[in-house]
Every structure is written in structure tokens, then in C-alpha cells.
Chains A and B, each alone.
Chain A
Amino acid sequence: MSASYAAVGWNRQKKIYDWLIAGFCTSYLVLFISLSLVFNEQVTFETLLIRSTSTLAVLLLHVILAIGPLCRLNKKFLPLLYNRRHLGVTMFTLSLVHGSFGIFQFHALGNINPILSLLTSNTNFNSLSAFPFQALGFLALVIFFLMAITSHDFWLHHLSPKVWKTLHMFVYLAYFLVVMHVMLGVIQYESNPVFVIIIFAGATTLVTLHLLSGIKERKTDNRQFALQQQGFVYVCGVKDIENSRAKIFCIDKERIAVYRHENKLFAVHNVCKHQGGPLGEGKILDGCITCPWHGYQYLPQNGQSPPPFREKVSTYDVKIVDNKVWLNPAASAEGTERPGAEIKD
């Protein structure tokens, strides 16, 4: 949040997450290299490194892009989201190894600058079978690089969440470039269609997951609130909200989270100040609304992060009449204390 920065904000959960990533990557690389050596004794070290890191990076990229929609479809996937940026940096590191060795093997042994050689040695842009697919991979690597170097919260704070998020949405362009890099590369170097089938299956899975999660969110956002009373809108029954949890309502295109805490209801803006996480999908921990994405916290009564942190979200008035919850969608200024609505049993 806003206290002194550390290089890496590790805690117990993040360390476990990172050990699992390291264990999985090591196992994958060992297995890939072992199987390659069994089935092709002539394979060189450079080729092994280029292929093992590329396939693992593509696999991780699919996992990274699947985490968001999976979490929107089922909260059980939220632990995967918690440390996704470390997964992203790992994927970039693998891509960098792949790209560096690729450039070294194919472009560094002549008398032309390797990057210049990569970008200019093949200009068959009109040919599908001879397309300069390496340039596509290089462009994707540049995008991953920009994402990796701005992954620290320092950059989120200084570039602003909007610019930061926009920059990181370029991952979808990078994904498209990676798919084309693999497809066009396979056409030129491989006779086995298995790589094309795998990448096609991966892309289809990602598109399906994004569509399903989009449809689910749209249903929530399109709910019509007919009953209105002095600026308040009837949203649900008191019993519909579990203790220490929230329900999210989209009124006038704004998502509001109504939390139940210590026999009271409080309403705050649903969007976390850190990376726009859905606060209403989190829970109350240590008396604070805790964002499910990265654990940023806010007090339910005033939407302020507990000191020394300084983030604030808007708060809203909420009232209970005959066990029915009424919400006023007019936002109070960020960090404004609201009394909440007492639940009478």
C-alpha cells in the first residue's frame, strides 16, 4: 500500500506460491529436456533451451490469461490471482531466455547487429510460409519486458492505475503476437501438427473463458432496480448477505459492495484503488474489507485504509426497513464516515 517499499512484498502465502511456481517450472524443464534427449539424441543444447523455455512460457501465458476469467466464474480460483504478477515475471524471464538464445543462435554469428539482423534479414511479409515470424516474437517480448519492469507497485502509483492497467492490457496483443509467432514458426520448421493443435486448443479455451465470465458479469450489471424511495433503491433482503461478506450491486453503471460486519451493513465503492480489484468479492479480515486480489484493506465505515496507508474509496448510505436492504447510489466523498445500518434480529 503506501508505506515504505520493499523489493518484493513476500509473505507466507506468496512464498508458497513462488515455491510452487519454481517447482513446477523446474519439473517441466527437466521432463522436457529428458524426453527430448530420449527421442532425439542429436538435439543440441541451444535447441533444447530454446524449445523448453518457449513451450513453458506459452503454457504459463495461457495460465496467466485464464486466471482472471476463472476467478470471475468461481471464487475458488482467487488464490491463483493473489500473486499473478510473479507468474508473469517468471513467464517473461523464460521468454527472455528463449528470445536471447534464439537471437544468439540465428542472428549473432554474422557481422550485423543481432537486433538489426532479426528485424531486417527476412522481409517476406507477403508470404505465409516464409513470414518473418521471429519479429512477431520479438515484439511480444518487448511488451512482456515493459510489463515486467513496471510490475512493482511503485510504477502503479506513479503511472496511475489507469495508465498502468492500459499498459498491462497490451498482454492481449502480446498473446496474439505469440500465437502468430508459434503458428508461422511451426509452418516453417515443423512437420508435426501437434504444436498447432495445442496452441489452437489453448486459444479456444481462453476465448471461451473470457466470454463466459463476460456473460456472467453482464447479468449482474444489467439487473434492474425498480423499487425506489427517497433516493434509496431496494437491493436485497438482509439475510442475503453473509456475515463478513458482501453482495455487489450495479446501479447507474457504478458497482457498489454492501458488506455485513458486526451486525451492521456498510456500503463502499466496489473498485479497489490498487489495481481495480472487486472489493465486494473479498471479505472482512481484522475488521477491514480485504480486496481478494492483493489484500489491500479498507475500513467498512469510512472506506479508508488503516494507517499508515492512505488509500480511500467512496462510501454510500444504506438502510434497513422490514429486513429489506435499501441503498442510496449517491456516493459520498472518498473516505467519508457513514453510520451504516444496524441489523435488528
Chain B
Amino acid sequence: MVIVSIILIIIAIYLAAGFVFAVAFIVKGVTKIDEGAHGATWGFRLIIIPGTIVFWPFLLNKWIRASKTKEE
């Protein structure tokens, strides 16, 4: 029970961090990593929130790489 509790707490922290990231990502990040997001509707931005919360490290990595490429 203790192990399961610890795993659930870790998942909750991971998802909470994902939620914070998702807010910034749908406002700014999504257009940095995908040209298709330019001019995309807010409905689209809202619909990708759950996925962003789950896959946030992957998207953060893409965002950082896109920013570096732009700087170069």
C-alpha cells in the first residue's frame, strides 16, 4: 500500500507539473514547435491540453530545441 501511495504521489506531482507547463505551452510553445499551430483555433489549443499534461517532458524538449534552432 505504501509503494502504491508513493507511486500515485509521484504521478500526481508529474501531472501537476504538466498542467503548469500546458498553460505556457498552449499560449506560446505550440506555435514554436509546429507551423500548423499558427492561426489554429483556441478549440485546438484546448483539445491538446490533456495530451500536453501527460507528454510534457517530450514537448518541453521539442520547445527548447526549436528555440535553439531559431537562435542559431
Contacts and interface: CB of A to CB of B under 8 A. Distances in A.
Nearest to B40: A5
A8 B1 contact: no
A6 B36 contact: no
A158 B43 contact: no
Given A5-B40, A7-B41, A158 B33 contact: yes
Contacts of B23: none
A120 B4 CA distance: 8
B38 to A, nearest CB: 7
A100 to B, nearest CB: 15
Contact of B8 (A113, A154, A159): A113
Interface string A2-22: 111111100000000000000
A152 interface: yes
A116 interface: yes
Interface string B11-48: 00000000000000000000001111111110110111
B44 A5 contact: yes
A6 B44 contact: yes
A116 B12 CA distance: 12
A146 B39 CA distance: 26
B50 interface: yes
Nearest to A120: B1
B1 A155 contact: no
Nearest to B59: A158
B43 A7 contact: yes
A149 interface: yes
Contact of A154 (B1, B34, B38, B43): B34
Contacts of B51: 149-150, 152, 154-155
Interface of B: 1, 4-5, 8, 33-41, 43-44, 46-48, 50-51, 54-55, 58-59, 62
Interface of A: 2-8, 113, 115-116, 119-120, 145-146, 148-150, 152, 154-155, 157-159
Given A5-B34, A145-B50, A158-B58, 11 more contacts: A3-B36, A4-B40, A113-B5, A113-B8, A116-B8, A120-B1, A152-B51, A157-B34, A158-B33, A158-B59, A159-B55
6 contacts: A4-B38, A113-B8, A116-B8, A154-B34, A155-B48, A155-B51
